[in-house]
């Protein structure tokens, strides 16, 4: 089979590309598999101009994710497994990539060429879309301008890579300079959760943190997460945007719970329609507050890491307030990244927790991720309080999380004890930058709502 370069439509149209640089990158990886890390730190499959190069790099990525060696044989087998070997012009083309190629000591130069050409093509595509919308004239000019700004901003963000920074650069880049690190009163505090004792112990949720909230079923994970989301999005001062990704409940069900929780109306009475005048008035007030709140719900049942990444980036550009919190309900329902046929569920959940941590850091937003626990607390004699070892399906959750908190309601295990009714604990089992301990809470069954104990309220709740 001929190994002559077959051009894609983009290549034929004369768009910016450097096929020789692309071949050098792919060939260098086949020659030295360790070079893949250098290339993958900057490039994605979509950065290659030729479709067959995109396919080859994508399969290299699959091999790397499974920690398998990348060479002609393994790559050909991977392409064959996906029915793509012919699409890349067969074994002869793979052999031509590194045949006679000397070891390249400055691979970064070729990687940068491929990246730069890719950026130019993306800019052209974005500009063409804007021109087409302007020519059609079907949309409002302000909307077209806003979309164009968003497109080019996203291109700029995609090219921004975190680099090593000196101590001087860290000090100078911080708001307030070096005094921010010397004066505790000037340190940036995290997003308040509305639970006073919890905020005292944690300082709130900070950008880039992965917070795991775990419990056994029916303990109130979703209820507590919604309480926090409601507080963040509807505060009288300093409110922030909240994005909720619910893989279990519909957006209508979540909105019902939010309205009833804020209005303090019994959900059963709400669903059956047995409401008094005061109930209706409180519901109306709660609905009005939520109507104006920067709170967004996605109830797609197959939301992936890539989906969350794309949707949050788009949301951040459209919000007129800072995005303060992302809630994912819940971890074990998310589709796992492809790790190969031999991967088990523990590895898949581990990949998800690591991916969510990287997303929170990259997007600079705290992620509150709900998680299931194993049956161990129920089987444990005596004290049924959860432990870190009870995290279901993955020990890496504990490793990736900046904070792990458990919900514990003793009344669930002692239904005959009236003195335990409504008592709840939020157990901080791990905190990377603070103390661990127990935060007492009150659970209001009729509202499916958690609140601060009355003795801890220093001021009226917002």
For residue 347, what are its two tokens? 């590895």
Are the beta carbons of 126 and 120 closer than 8 angstroms? no
| Nearest partner of 448 among 230, 223, 269, judged by Cα | 223
Distance, CA of 423 to CA of 426 (rounded, Å): 11
Residue 79, helix vs strand vs coil: helix
Q: Which residues of 381-413 are buried (b: 16+ CB within 10 A; e: fewer)?
A: eeebbbeeebbbbbebbeebbbbbbbbbbbbbe
Distance, CA of 367 to CA of 165 (rounded, Å): 25
Residue 221, helix vs strand vs coil: helix
CB atoms within 10 A of CB 288: 10
Sorted by sequence, the CB contacts under 8 Å of residue 395 that are 6+ apart come out as 346, 350, 389
Distance, CA of 253 to CA of 260 (rounded, Å): 11
Catalytic residue among 46, 248, 285, 292: 248
3-state secondary structure 119-163: HHHHHHHHHHHHHHHHHHCCCCHHHHHHHHHHHHHHHHHHHCCCC
Angle in degrees, CA 75, 77, 78, rounded to 5: 65
Distance, CA of 50 to CA of 54 (rounded, Å): 6
Distance, CA of 401 to CA of 430 (rounded, Å): 8
Task: Respond yes or no: is residue 84 known to be catalytic.
Answer: no
| Nearest partner of 427 among 202, 108, 124, 190, judged by Cα | 202
Sorted by sequence, the CB contacts under 8 Å of residue 338 that are 6+ apart come out as 62, 65
Stated as kind and residue range, the H or E segment containing 9 is: helix 9-12
Are the beta carbons of 23 and 105 closer than 8 angstroms? no
For residue 419, what are its two tokens? 């003195």
Distance, CA of 196 to CA of 204 (rounded, Å): 10
What radius of gyration, in Å, describes the C-alpha atoms of the chain? 26
Report, as residue numbers or ranges, the catalytic residues. Answer: 248
């Amino acid at each position: 089979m001929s190994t002559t370069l077959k051009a894609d439509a983009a290549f034929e149209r004369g768009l910016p590309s450097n096929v020789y640089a692309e071949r050098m990158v792919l060939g260098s990886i086949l020659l030295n598999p360790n070079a893949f890390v250098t290339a993958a730190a900057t490039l994605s499959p979509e950065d290659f101009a030729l479709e067959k190069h995109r396919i080859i790099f994508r399969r290299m990525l699959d091999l790397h994710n499974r920690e398998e060696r990348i060479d002609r044989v393994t790559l050909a087998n991977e392409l064959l497994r996906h029915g793509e070997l012919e699409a890349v012009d067969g074994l002869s083309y793979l052999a031509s990539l590194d045949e006679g190629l000397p070891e390249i000591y400055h691979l970064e130069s070729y990687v940068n060429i491929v990246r730069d050409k890719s950026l130019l093509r993306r800019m052209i595509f974005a500009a063409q879309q804007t021109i087409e919308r302007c020519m059609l004239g079907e949309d409002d000019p302000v909307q077209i301008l806003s979309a164009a700004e968003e497109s080019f901003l996203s291109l700029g963000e995609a090219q921004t890579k975190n680099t090593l920074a000196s101590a001087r650069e860290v000090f100078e880049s911080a708001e307030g300079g070096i005094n921010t690190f010397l004066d505790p009163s000037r340190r940036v505090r995290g997003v308040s959760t509305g639970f006073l004792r919890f905020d005292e112990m944690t300082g709130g949720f900070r950008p880039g943190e992965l917070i795991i909230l775990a419990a056994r079923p029916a303990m109130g994970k979703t209820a507590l997460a919604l309480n926090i989301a409601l507080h963040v999005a509807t505060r009288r001062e300093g409110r922030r945007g909240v994005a909720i990704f619910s893989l279990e409940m519909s957006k209508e069900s979540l909105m019902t719970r939010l309205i009833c929780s804020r209005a303090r109306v019994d959900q059963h009475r709400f669903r059956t329609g047995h409401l008094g005048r005061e109930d209706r008035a409180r519901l109306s007030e709660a609905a009005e507050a939520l109507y104006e709140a920067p709170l967004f719900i996605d109830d797609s049942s197959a939301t992936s890491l890539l989906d969350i990444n794309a949707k949050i980036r788009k949301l951040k550009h459209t919000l007129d307030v800072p995005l303060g919190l992302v809630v994912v309900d819940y971890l074990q329902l998310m589709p796992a990244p492809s790790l190969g046929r031999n991967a088990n569920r523990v590895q898949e959940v581990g990949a998800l927790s690591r991916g969510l941590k990287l997303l929170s850091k990259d997007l600079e937003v705290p992620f509150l991720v709900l998680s299931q626990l194993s049956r161990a607390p129920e089987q444990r004699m005596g004290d049924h309080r959860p432990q870190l070892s009870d995290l279901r399906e993955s020990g890496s959750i504990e490793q990736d999380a900046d904070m792990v908190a458990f919900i514990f309601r003793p009344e669930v295990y002692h239904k005959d004890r009236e003195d335990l009714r409504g008592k709840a604990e939020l157990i901080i089992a791990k905190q990377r930058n603070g103390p661990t301990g127990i935060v007492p809470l009150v659970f209001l069954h009729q509202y499916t709502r958690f609140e601060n104990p009355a003795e801890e309220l220093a001021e009226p709740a917002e």
